[in-house]
Amino acid sequence: MSSQTNRDFVTSGFMFVVGIIAFVLTFSFKSFEGTNFGVGVEFMPRVIAVLILLTSVIIFVNALKSRSKKTNDTNLEAEEIVEQETESKNYKKLVISIIAMLIYILLTPILGFLIATALFLIAQMLIISNFAKEKIILFLVISILMAVIVNYVFRNVFYVMLPQGILG
């Protein structure tokens, strides 16, 4: 069994435990006086906990499929070399993504949620796509739309004000 499959099993188990703990903790949330919008304060944390649980199950199932596929392959050594090269590239993407997140956190109060989020999403899509410049227009459109939609939902559905920054 490959080291990636082992990591996937560990990751899925860890995420499952985190999801269960997060879901159970939502039962201790208390509502604020005068905030009766139909859904309580526990709604979004529960949705996120369920999404974490679903993601952990998907990772676990994919690890099982990968393990059964690799036991049928005879050319495991060549596959492991390719896997190590891919892991190295993925670690570089992870480090770049973490740096982009830190920059996003620092710039959000200054630039505001809309601009900072759109820039972060564009950067993240470029990182994931190996800097595919031919898709920059698509990334730009998706990023702007997502930032506007999320801003609208938080302001007009959840009544949560996000940082406005230079847009005031």
What's the confidence (pLDDT) of residue 131?
A: 84
Q: Between 98 and 77, name the one with better pLDDT.
A: 98
63-77: pLDDT as tens digits:
888 877 765 555 555
Task: For the chain, state the CA radius of gyration.
Answer: 20
Which pTM value belongs to this model?
0.59
119-164: pLDDT as tens digits:
999 999 998 888 888 889 999 999 999 999 999 988 888 787 888 8
Nearest-angstrom CA–CA distance, 112 and 166? 6
What's the confidence (pLDDT) of residue 144?
A: 95
Q: Between 2 and 150, name the one with better pLDDT.
A: 150
What's the confidence (pLDDT) of residue 52?
A: 87
Nearest-angstrom CA–CA distance, 115 and 104? 10
The answer to whether 31 and 22 have CB atoms below 8 angstroms apart is no
Rounded to the nearest integer, the mean pLDDT of the chain is: 82
Lowest-confidence segment of 21-25, 76-80, 152-156 by average pLDDT:
76-80
Domain segments of the chain as ranges: 1-72, 83-168
Q: Which of 41, 25, 43 is nearest to 33 (CA)?
A: 41
Percent of the chain past pLDDT 90, that is, above it, reads 27
